[in-house]
């Protein structure tokens, strides 16, 4: 195989390894995200998990204490038993050896054999039984005697024999193999005084029975603890379910209520706290339903009253308008005071007619009957059409009207009548509050959104008034004389017109720095705005620096349906 082929094989293998590693990482990440999501969203999972963790820790501590105490008790009992045997064996060996004055007497060896056999019992040859050893390291004529053969040097150890040889009693636990496999032994030794010197007596007792009993106790405790933990987890899951289920039902019922399904209620069963919660919830829902229905009825009556009054006033207004027009046309033939009255009557009738028109428009929005007649529209001529009729008013107020629009068309899918009405209201308000200073109308588009900003340099707005200006009949200064005879509904209608387009109508103002109103419309009808090409806070405003507005982008969505 050539080097190029080997390189290709290695590259393929590395690519497959990277792909496999990426798949593993994604699966692990997905698993962790799922666990984290379940932990955050499920109260039952958190309660059961915490119960299992805490109960497992408690059971583990309990099992450790029980196992430790069991092993200690069994070992203590084994020590007490061997101590008793060692005491009796020491006395018996002393009685048997006290008759000998010299270690080399002929019966000494046989007596030692009898002592070991007697102390070891009838099962001395059983590898699993205890072992008795008699030694005399200080007497050269006597060799060690043990109840059965085997190498005990590893179990006995020099530290134990040293203590016993020096006249003390020694105890130790050793592991070794004395014919029954690797076993743990309890080793005890004591000196036995005779006329010819000191003899050492050792008991080597296997702890097999104690270890087996301790193992069984540990297994029983662990099995019982694990069963208890599982039962606690199951119990906590059942109890948590009893509590969480009504809460979930209450949450779903509340969501349905918030969605407008006011007839939703919880099922009340029993007389406990959860039943009391369900009954209280149902009572609250019933009260809310009654209040909402009452408010809806009042709102419906109010809208109907406004619409009916507006319609009913049209007929007498038309009659009065005809008479007023006739008087106004002939006002030159009347005395000066009557002529002035005719002019005032004409002006107030115009204002009254505008008020009725605005009330009808507001009633359409309140009833959900407003319709958007969107079509591709050039905003440049609309801006001029909204500004030109107000130039006479601006001249009377000593205000310079400046219009800054692009040379090329700005095409937007919008209702031209509503957009022109919005701009006419904004420019008229700006001229009213300009205090003789210039008013600038600027149109900017970036292909995604188009914005018209109307800037004045009058008294401005106080903090918080940038939201109040769109309220119905709200005026910043009620004592201020108006030049245009507005109805107080213009900005409210303009805000509804902007929302109907899926656009924004916003206000900014500061005391002594004037105000700026910004209308932002999506270029395509149905797009959702994410930004505006014009800053809401003017660049010439003396305010702390703010972050640049986000670049606008449109998120396509289906246009909202409007009630017919």
Dihedral sign of CA atoms 423, 426, 428, 431 in order: negative
Q: Evaluate whether residue 217 is within a structural domain.
A: no
Query: To the nearest 10°, the Cα dihedral for 556, 557, 559, 563?
Result: -160
Which of 369, 391, 411 is the last residue before a domain boundary? 369
Query: To the nearest 10°, the Cα dihedral for 496, 352, 474, 505?
Result: 20
* Number of domains, the chain: 3
Q: Evaluate whether residue 247 is within a structural domain.
A: no
Q: Evaluate whether residue 27 is within a structural domain.
A: no
CATH number at residue 272: 1.10.287.130
CA distances to 58, 121, 477 from 252, rounded to whole Å, are 37, 80, 48
Q: Which helix (H) or strand (E) holds 562?
A: none
Q: Evaluate whether residue 249 is within a structural domain.
A: no
- Cα angle for residues 113, 116, 120 (degrees, 5° grid): 140
183 and 115 in one domain? yes
Prediction pTM value: 0.45
pLDDT in tens, 176-206: 877 767 788 888 888 888 888 888 888 888 8
349 and 453 in one domain? no
Whether residue 521 contacts residue 552, with contact meaning beta carbons closer than 8 Å, is answered with no
Rounded-to-integer distance, Cα 431 and Cα 442, Å: 15
Rounded-to-integer distance, Cα 430 and Cα 435, Å: 9
**Of 518, 512, 498, which Cα lies nearest the Cα of 455?**
518
What pLDDT is stored for residue 140 in this prediction?
A: 72
What pLDDT is stored for residue 553 in this prediction?
A: 39
Rounded-to-integer distance, Cα 524 and Cα 517, Å: 22
392 and 351 in one domain? no
200 and 143 in one domain? yes
Mapping DSSP onto H, E and C, the string for 199-262 reads EEEEEEEECHHHHHHHHHHHHHHHHHHHHHHHHHHHHHHHHHHHHHHHHHHHHHHHHHHHCCCC
CATH number at residue 174: 3.30.450
519 and 378 in one domain? yes
135 and 283 in one domain? no
435 and 321 in one domain? no
Ranges of residues in the chain whose predicted pLDDT is under 70: 1-3, 122-129, 180, 302-303, 306-307, 309-311, 364, 366-369, 475-487, 543-564
385 and 346 in one domain? no
Q: Evaluate whether residue 11 is within a structural domain.
A: no
Q: Evaluate whether residue 493 is within a structural domain.
A: yes
CATH number at residue 431: 3.30.565.10
**Number of CB atoms found within 10 A of residue 441's CB:** 21
525 and 449 in one domain? yes
- Tell me the two tokens of residue 21: 């590693």
What pLDDT is stored for residue 310 in this prediction?
A: 64
Enclosing domain of residue 174: 101-211
540 and 430 in one domain? yes
430 and 357 in one domain? no
What pLDDT is stored for residue 497 in this prediction?
A: 87
Query: Do the bridges between strand 401-404 and strand 439-445 make them parallel or antiparallel, or are there none, so unpaired?
Result: parallel
Q: Evaluate whether residue 255 is within a structural domain.
A: no
Q: Evaluate whether residue 365 is within a structural domain.
A: yes
Dihedral sign of CA atoms 105, 110, 114, 115 in order: positive
User: Phi and psi for 240 in degrees, rounded to 5?
Assistant: -65, -35
**Of 233, 211, 185, 174, which Cα lies nearest the Cα of 46?**
233
329 and 403 in one domain? no
């Amino acid at each position: 195989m050539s080097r190029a082929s080997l390189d290709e094989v290695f590259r393929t293998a590395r690519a497959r390894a990277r792909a496999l590693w990426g798949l593993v990482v994604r699966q692990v990440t997905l698993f962790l995200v799922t666990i984290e999501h379940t932990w955050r969203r499920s109260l039952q999972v958190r309660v059961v998990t915490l119960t299992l963790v805490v109960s497992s820790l408690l059971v583990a501590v309990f099992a450790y204490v029980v196992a430790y105490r069991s092993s200690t008790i069994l070992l203590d009992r084994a020590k007490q038993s061997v101590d008793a045997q060692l005491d009796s064996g020491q006395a018996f060996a002393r009685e048997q050896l006290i008759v000998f004055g010299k270690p080399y007497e002929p019966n000494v060896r046989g007596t030692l054999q009898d002592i070991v056999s007697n102390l070891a019992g009838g099962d001395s040859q059983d590898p699993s039984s205890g072992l008795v050893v008699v030694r005399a390291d200080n007497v050269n004529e006597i060799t060690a005697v043990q109840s059965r053969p085997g190498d005990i040097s590893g179990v006995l150890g020099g530290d134990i024999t040293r203590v016993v040889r020096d006249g003390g009693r020694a105890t130790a636990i050793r592991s070794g193999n004395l014919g029954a496999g690797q076993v743990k032994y309890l080793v005890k030794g004591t000196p036995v005084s005779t006329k010819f010197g000191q003899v050492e007596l050792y008991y080597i007792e296997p702890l097999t029975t104690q270890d087996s009993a301790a193992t069984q106790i540990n297994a029983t405790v662990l099995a019982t603890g694990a069963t208890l933990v599982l039962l606690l987890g199951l119990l906590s899951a059942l109890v948590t379910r009893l509590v969480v289920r009504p809460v979930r039902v209450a949450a779903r019922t509340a969501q349905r209520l918030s969605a407008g399904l006011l007839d939703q209620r919880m099922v009340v069963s029993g007389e406990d706290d959860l039943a009391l919660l369900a009954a209280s919830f149902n009572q609250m829902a019933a009260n809310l339903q009654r209040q909402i229905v009452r408010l809806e009825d009042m709102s419906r009556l109010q809208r109907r009253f406004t619409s009916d009054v507006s319609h009913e006033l049209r007929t007498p207004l038309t009659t009065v308008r005809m008479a007023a027009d006739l008087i106004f046309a002939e006002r030159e033939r009347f005395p000066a005071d009557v002529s002035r009255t005719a002019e005032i009557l004409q002006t107030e009738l115009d204002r009254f007619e505008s008020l009725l028109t605005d009330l009808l428009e507001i009633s359409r929005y309140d009833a959900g009957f407003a319709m958007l007649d969107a079509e591709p529209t050039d905003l440049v001529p609309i801006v001029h059409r909204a500004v030109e009729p107000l130039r006479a008013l601006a001249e009377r107020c000593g205000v310079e009207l400046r219009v800054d629009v692009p040379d090329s068309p700005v095409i937007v899918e919008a209702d031209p009548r509503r957009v022109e009405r919005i701009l006419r209201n904004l420019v008229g308000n700006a001229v009213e509050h300009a205090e003789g200073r210039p008013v600038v109308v600027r149109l900017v588009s970036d292909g995604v959104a188009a914005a018209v900003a109307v800037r004045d340099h009058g008294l401005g707005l106080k903090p918080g008034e940038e939201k109040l200006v769109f309220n119905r009949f709200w005026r910043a200064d009620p004592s201020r004389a108006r030049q245009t005879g507005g109805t107080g509904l213009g900005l409210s209608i303009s805000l509804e017109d902007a929302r109907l387009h899926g656009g924004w109508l916003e206000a900014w103002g500061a005391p002594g720095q004037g105000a700026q109103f910004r209308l932002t419309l999506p270029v395509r009808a149905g797009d959702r705005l994410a930004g505006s090409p014009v800053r809401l806070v003017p660049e010439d405003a003396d305010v702390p620096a703010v972050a640049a507005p986000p670049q606008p982008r449109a998120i396509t969505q289906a246009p909202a349906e409007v009630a017919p």
